[in-house]
Chain A
Amino acid sequence: MLLSSVVIILREVLEGALLLSVFLALSWHQGYQFRWSLTALFAGVIGAVFYAAEFESISTWFDYVGQEVVNASLHFLIVLFLTMFSLFYTAYKGRYDRAKIIFMTIAVALTIVREGSEILLYLSGFVGRDEALSSVILGGIIGAGIGLSLGGLLYYSLIDFIPSYTRKVAYGLLALFSAAMLSDTVTMLTQADWLPAQHYLWDSSSWLAEESLLGHLLYALLGYEATPTALQLAAYITGLFLVLVLPRLFSKGVAFNGHK
């Protein structure tokens, strides 16, 4: 019980912690105050409580695929705000800082809503079972601690070990995060039968299993998937495009209009 709760909470906390670390590293680089992260944390937790409370009825929506549709929408919105951030970050250097901070806040808050609600649902199963509950809570604290430590490790690696590359590496991680989120959106909509079912393109599970420790870490960091479908791959590439390529095109457009 203890070990499985460590793993479950760690898995849920990890994605949010990594995104937060990347944004904090970029904030550090831009000289922003970190207050926005508290707002994101607070809003995310409130949202997660609401989502978990309504989860039972949401699950029955659209002939029992409401969960997939809402989660896919959350992921889609996260990608949208990551893209907005990237557009402003690349095109408007030193301007619209408030908008950039708002986009970061919303993206992190939505990630916490998504992951936090699952933690709450998991914990809700143990309410009233006192001995199990205490070991689950202990496991949860350990799991959350490991997840936040990994986030902290990433943050300090980004700003301390490679200060001259902070911006580039953090931005690259953001692109991978967006790709992973968009690919997950496709998986959920396929699970709901809202997107066509497909055979997978390849199977790399014998090379690197998703259930291994490295597999989990790569899943959280890059959205590693051992058996992706063509639609997932297309979504992954689109996610990279939205953060890496689109902002450059947009930025050129802005510069061009500025010269007119």
Chain B
Amino acid sequence: MSYQFNQLLSGLLLLCVCFNTANATPEFKIEIKDNLFFPAELTVPANTKVKLRIFNLDSTPEEFESYELNREKVIVGNSQTVIFIGPLLPGSYPYFGEFNPKTAQGIIYAK
């Protein structure tokens, strides 16, 4: 069988793997209350895409921001949102609420 066919086959296989992982994206929940993140420390699996579902229970907007995760997103008051992060190398990734940076701080550990 030709080399190209093998390549095609392995490509397709890889694609299947990708779709499978897409279906099984692990989801984690973070809440914002009184300008604080709960839980402030969260451990997620390393080297895989992760879905964060963030609930803002305050009436004021907040911006989830992280230089390390390369993410920023405004979450209006009393609403929820979704942010995809990763794949992350093992390590710690601090984030903060840009609209209340003194209080709203959190950290994500990838293990």
Contacts and interface: CB of A to CB of B under 8 A. Distances in A.
A193 interface: yes
A197 interface: yes
B45 interface: no
Interface string A61-77: 00111011000000000
A4 B84 CA distance: 26
Contacts of A198: 87
Contacts of A211: 67
Interface stretch (B1-9, B36-44, B97-105): B97-105
B17 interface: no
Interface string B62-102: 11000110110111110111111111010000000011111
A157 interface: no
A55 B61 CA distance: 11
Contact of A67 (B22, B47, B73, B101): B73
A138 interface: no
A59 B81 CA distance: 7
Given A211-B67, A225-B70, A125 B83 contact: no
A124 interface: yes
Contacts of A192: 84
Contacts of A199: 47, 87, 89
A56 interface: yes
Contacts of A8: 98-99
Interface residues of B, number: 35
A47 to B, nearest CB: 17
A123 B101 CA distance: 15
Contacts of A197: 49, 84, 86-87
A191 B25 CA distance: 13
B13 interface: no
B21 to A, nearest CB: 9
Interface in B1-32: 18, 22, 25
A227 B67 CA distance: 9
A105 interface: no
A190 B61 CA distance: 23
Interface in B47-64: 47, 49, 51, 53, 60-63
Contacts of A227: 68, 70
Contact of A125 (B22, B86, B99, B102): B99
B86 A122 contact: no
B84 A226 contact: no
A166 interface: no
B101 A4 contact: yes
Interface of A: 4, 8, 55-56, 59-60, 63-65, 67-68, 118, 121-122, 124-126, 187, 190-193, 196-200, 205, 209-211, 225-227
18 contacts: A4-B102, A55-B74, A55-B76, A59-B74, A64-B80, A64-B82, A65-B82, A67-B74, A121-B61, A187-B70, A191-B83, A192-B84, A193-B84, A197-B84, A197-B87, A198-B87, A209-B67, A226-B67
Given A193-B25, A193-B49, A198-B87, 4 more contacts: A4-B101, A64-B53, A125-B61, A227-B70
